[in-house]
Amino acid sequence: MANDSYFFSSRENIIPQNEQERTAIRQAIFGVQYRLDGSQDEADAEGLGPQLALLSSLLAPIRRLPPEILSGILRQPDLHPSVSNGPESAPAYFGGRGTSPILAVSCHWRATLLSTPDFWALFSITLPGDNRVARLFKMYLDRSKQSPLSIEIRARRPGTIHPGILQQLIESSVRWERLRLTLEPLHLFALSPIRGRLPILSSLEFCVGRAADDLLPMIAQPDYFEIAPRLTRLKLSLPSDASPLLPLSQLKTLIISSWYNLPLAPRCPNLRTLSIPGATGVFWGNDVPEGLSRVEVSAVELSTFPLMLEFITAPAVQVIDIVAGKAMQTPGAWAAFVQRSACHPHTLRLEEVGITSSDLLTFLTLLPSLHTLDLHNLRPGAITNKLLAPLTEDTGGVILPELKNLSISGSYLFSNAALLDLLESRAESLEHVQLRLTQRSFTEVELGRARAVKEKGVDLALWCLNGQKNMAKRI
């Protein structure tokens, strides 16, 4: 590395390996800088500016990172909105997002990433596909080598699966770690050879469309996923006429998107999290099927929309997360759930739930074991002085005696004075307080009271936002 020509013949593929090489680069930088300072015309003619920038980049610490770490950095979606998280040449049906600027500009980064198996370990394919897709898929499997795979297969319309793609999928199933299936019933039958070939599968998202009558015998009880020793997370959206054999006793997390899948929950003795995401609009139908019976689940964390509390008993639940849904239910059903379950949860989260201050107060009085209360984007009348007064310790009949963490966001009708009275009364017991309040402002005197609470050891963060959601005050 004795002269500039070596640097520029090798261009960006140079990775300084030791201090001697880095010293040579520094000397070359000094020489180019000296010439650049001497004559601007000469510098422009010889392109000394770009040469200096290139030489300087060779000393960047990122060039000394191992390829595996570099690949992980450049695959982060937050790095740049156009950075691809998969093969940079992948078309839309492969989950690609076009050519990444980093890969297009730098042949060094391109070569590094494409030579790293982990860069290829994320893939999305839409069936049936064609010969070009099959060739790209084979390249993907070859380059990912033995890395665990995250596979998404979407086949929303009936049709013949490309035989080459199907064969490659089945042969690679021993490497599937995360699998997302959105299939028509006919395609489900085509995947039958994967039975017993899922040794590392840990997460399965399984969505199957409704079947015609002549296909019912084919899909009634598929057993392709019955043997998956590491499967602990399952998301289901199946029609009522499908009853697959699944390793339910292993599951830690169950997410259901159909009324008809709720009876599976009691068959999961080791369940930690039961999620029924009604707020996302994926729950099939608002009308409750006739004969839907109440189930008892072992889940420690329950995330659901209000209506479903009527159909669940959860004695061991520790975290209750209630999110908005089109079908709302009265808080009386919430109280019945707590009394029926005889549970002692430590965390309650409510988000975008329609509830009055009186009803919320009634609900909270049934949960004396709570130490974490998160209230986000409720209706303005949900949190008023009437609710904050019983939470204030020096008012007598205090509720939530174990409360340590409080989070409130949104626009509400309570006064600043009532809020500050609450914080001051619990300054010795509260640990974390997060307040993000809209349509509100605080005087300097009120902010001083809040700072005094913080000085007593409470981890207090207060954001006050105006009508345009611009931050006005923060402590």
pLDDT tens for residues 19-75?
A: 666 677 777 777 777 777 777 666 666 677 777 777 776 666 666 666 666 666 555
Same domain, 56 and 125: no
List of residues 6+ apart from 382 with CB closer than 8 A:
353, 355, 356, 357, 360, 375, 412
Q: Is residue 379 part of a domain?
A: yes
**Is residue 94 a contact partner of residue 124, using CB atoms and an 8 Å limit?**
yes
- Between CA 172 and CA 178 the distance in angstroms is 12
Per-residue DSSP letter, 164? H
Q: Is residue 296 part of a domain?
A: no
Strands 471-474 and 459-465, sheet pairing: antiparallel
Q: Is residue 470 part of a domain?
A: yes
Same domain, 229 and 138: yes
Same domain, 148 and 257: yes
User: Two tokens at 202?
Assistant: 């840990």
Q: At which of 226, 251, 271 does a domain end?
A: 271
Q: Which position has the token pair 């450049």? A: 74
CATH number of the domain that residue 238 is part of: 3.80.10
Domain that holds residue 49: 4-64
Same domain, 146 and 44: no
Same domain, 132 and 256: yes
Q: Is residue 290 part of a domain?
A: no
DSSP codes of every residue in 230-281: T--EEEEE--TT------GGG-SEEEE-SGGGGGGGGG-TT--EEE--GGGT
Q: At which of 226, 250, 271 does a domain end?
A: 271
User: Two tokens at 388?
Assistant: 């904050």
Q: Which of 144, 93, 90 is nearest to 121 (CA)?
A: 144
**Is residue 324 a contact partner of residue 352, using CB atoms and an 8 Å limit?**
yes
Q: Is residue 313 part of a domain?
A: no
Q: Is residue 231 part of a domain?
A: yes
Same domain, 154 and 264: yes
Same domain, 142 and 242: yes
Cα distances (angstroms) measured from residue 317 to each of 81, 277, 342 = 39, 17, 10
- Between CA 391 and CA 43 the distance in angstroms is 72
Q: How far apart, in Å, do the first and last CA atoms of the chain sit?
A: 55
Same domain, 163 and 243: yes
| Structural domain count, the chain | 3
User: Two tokens at 184?
Assistant: 């028509």
SS3 content of the chain, % helix, strand, coil (to 5): 40, 20, 40
Same domain, 48 and 156: no
Same domain, 130 and 60: no
Q: At which of 26, 41, 64 does a domain end?
A: 64
**Is residue 95 a contact partner of residue 122, using CB atoms and an 8 Å limit?**
yes
Q: Is residue 89 part of a domain?
A: no
Same domain, 131 and 235: yes
pLDDT tens digits in sequence order for the chain, 475 residues long: 334 443 443 444 445 556 666 677 777 777 777 777 777 666 666 677 777 777 776 666 666 666 666 666 555 544 444 444 444 333 323 333 333 444 444 555 555 555 555 555 555 555 555 677 777 777 777 777 778 888 887 776 655 566 777 788 888 899 999 998 887 777 777 788 899 999 999 999 988 776 555 555 555 567 889 999 999 999 988 776 667 889 999 999 999 987 778 889 999 999 999 998 864 444 545 556 666 778 999 999 999 988 888 889 999 999 999 987 544 556 678 889 999 999 999 999 999 888 889 889 989 999 999 999 999 999 899 999 999 999 997 655 689 999 999 999 999 999 999 999 999 999 999 999 999 998 888 889 999 999 999 999 999 999 887 645 555 556 7
Same domain, 126 and 243: yes
Q: Is the pTM of this model over 0.85?
A: no
- Between CA 189 and CA 266 the distance in angstroms is 27
Q: Is residue 116 part of a domain?
A: no
Q: Which position has the token pair 């994926």? A: 282
Cis peptide bond prior to 390, omega within 30° of 0 = no
